[in-house]
Structure formats: C-alpha cells, structure tokens
Amino acid sequence: MKIGELAERSGVTRDTIRFYERNGLIRSRPGQSATNNYRDYPEDNLFQLEFLTRARDAGMSIADLQDLINATEGSCNMDAAKKVIGAKISELKERQEQIRSIVQFLEESLHKL
C-alpha cells in the first residue's frame, strides 16, 4: 500500500511514518512503477504502527524501540526481546517511585501551608 493509505488506515501521519522508517522501525520497498519514486508499505506495518504508537504513548523512546526491533528482527530472539522489555519495565517502575515520592513531598508541603 502507499503511504497515504497506510496513514489513513493506521491513524498515523505521513511524517510519523517517514520518521519511523528513517529510524528503522518500519520498512517499505520500491514501488512497481519505474516512472515514480513511490514506496510500497507491507500490510504488517499496520500492526507495527499500532505497537509503536502504544509503546510511545507508554513512554518508550525511539532508542528503546530500536533496541526491541533489533533484538527480534530476523531471528525473533524472544530472550533478547524479554531482556529489553524487562529493562524498560524496571526503569519505568523506578521513575514511578520517584514521581510518587515527589508527589508525596508536594502534598505534605501544601498541607503545611
């Protein structure tokens, strides 16, 4: 499918699709026509874009996503993927604790005012 159709079906902008492609998170191939520079995007990019959108919304960085894609690309190395995901979970839990601590401090400060 062309980028416009992929954007419409996925709900992701063309610019975002191009950004993800430049960063190796999705792939396309040259179109069949030799007279234009259109790219064809495989159907599985719809699933990939949904995953990327949800992961970004959850706080995963492009670098995190690249690590995850690289860990599973080609070989589908689930152990490597689990390691990347586990590390991200640990990082987010640590940040969650830091935020909880800050909120508690601010609530106590507000109460004292």
List, for residues 22-47, the tens digit of each pLDDT value. 998 999 988 777 667 788 999 999 99
Largest CA distance in the chain: 72
Q: Does the CA dihedral 71-52-14-47 come out positive or negative?
A: positive
Task: Return the pLDDT at 76.
Answer: 61
Task: Return the pLDDT at 112.
Answer: 94
Task: Return the pLDDT at 15.
Answer: 96
CA dist 102 and 96 (Å) reads 10
Task: Return the pLDDT at 85.
Answer: 80
Task: Return the pLDDT at 2.
Answer: 92
Task: Return the pLDDT at 11.
Answer: 95
Mean pLDDT by 10 residues, the chain (113 residues): 94 95 91 78 92 88 84 69 83 92 96 93
What Rg do the C-alpha atoms of the chain give, in angstroms?
19
